[in-house]
Amino acid sequence: MAFERRDLVELASAGTGVGTTGGQRFFRLWAYATDDTVAAVTTAGYFAAAGSATGDGKLSEGDLIYVQADLDGTPAFGLYRVSDAAAGTVVAL
């Protein structure tokens, strides 16, 4: 399967953190649920449709995403950090 933008939901944002926009440091906390496996979700560019290079620019470097993966198989859960906002790439924490 592929990334579904509608399944990425912003839960919160904070005024301090690791991302920088307009001089203010912040990060956002997102939730994402999918039938895709963890291996698919952590593939470089999986979140590109929400990245800043080719997507809608919702994700920023340092944002955190709580992922519920493989819901139709062997469910897995994890917290991931956006490591490359332009490409939409995440890394496990």
7-11, 83-87, 89-93: which is most confident: 7-11
How deeply is 76 buried, as exposed, middle or buried, from its count of CB atoms within 10 A (0-12, 13-18, 19+)? middle
Regarding beta strands 24-33 and 64-69, do their DSSP bridges make them parallel or antiparallel, or are they unpaired?
Answer: parallel
DSSP string, the chain: ----GGGEEEEEEEEEEEEEETTEEEEEEEEEE-SS-HHHHTSTTTTGGGSSSSS-S---TT-EEEEEE-TTSS-EEEEEEEEETTTTEEEE-
Tell me the domain boundaries of the chain: 6-92
Query: What does the pLDDT look like over 23-72, one tens digit per residue?
Result: 556 789 999 999 999 999 999 989 988 987 777 888 888 899 999 999 99
- The model's pTM: 0.84
